[in-house]
């Protein structure tokens, strides 16, 4: 079974430019997460979806970040405009309720460098 798929793996952009990340969760996983991980730190939740509904976006900087999960499957995370401090790894993860307690499967991440 395919894991969580993210693209692009790496992205280098100039500040003030837009960037978008895409995530395809594991088939059948109706919960989808976007995390941000700074170098040497643990992941921090940006937004969590239950199907197509964003149930927790309290940590999403809404002035420049947006996310969507059309049809409750794939998701995109957008940053516009990007700032230097946005350089980080953006991790997508998914889980299936009932499959153990909050067993979350992570993708390999999208590594963003803003210059």
Residue pair 86/114 in contact (Cβ under 8 Å)? The answer is yes
Judged by phi (left if over 0) then psi (alpha if -120 to 50, else beta), residue 100 lies in left
CB of 14 to other proteins, least distance (A): 23
Question: What does the DSSP 8-state code read for residue 72?
Answer: G
Residue number with CB closer to other proteins (10 or 15) = 10
- Binding span for other proteins by CB under 8 A among 21-29, 35-43, 61-69, 70-78: 35-43
From 15-23, 34-42, 62-70, 74-82, span contacting other proteins (CB under 8 A): 34-42
Taking the complex as a whole, how short is the minimal distance between the CB of residue 35 and other proteins, in angstroms?
8
Contacts 24+ apart (CB under 8 A), 65-73: 67/34, 69/32, 72/30, 73/24, 73/25
Stretch near other proteins under the rule CB under 8 A, chosen from 17-25, 62-70, 73-81, 103-111: 103-111
Quote the CA–CA distance of 6 and 74 in Å, as a whole number: 10
Q: Does 104 bind other proteins (CB under 8 A)?
A: yes
| Closer residue to other proteins, CB minimum distance, 82 or 110 | 110
């Amino acid at each position: 079974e395919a894991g969580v798929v993210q693209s692009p793996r790496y992205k280098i952009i100039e500040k003030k430019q837009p960037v978008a990340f895409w995530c395809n969760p594991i088939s059948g996983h109706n919960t989808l997460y976007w995390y941000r991980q700074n170098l040497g730190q643990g992941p921090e939740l940006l937004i969590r979806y239950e199907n197509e509904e964003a149930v927790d976006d309290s940590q999403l900087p809404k002035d420049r970040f947006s996310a969507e999960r059309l049809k409750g499957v794939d998701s995109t995370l957008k940053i516009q405009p990007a700032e230097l401090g946005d350089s980080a790894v953006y991790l997508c993860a998914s889980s299936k309720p009932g499959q153990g307690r909050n067993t979350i499967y992570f993708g390999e991440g999208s590594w963003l460098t803003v210059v």
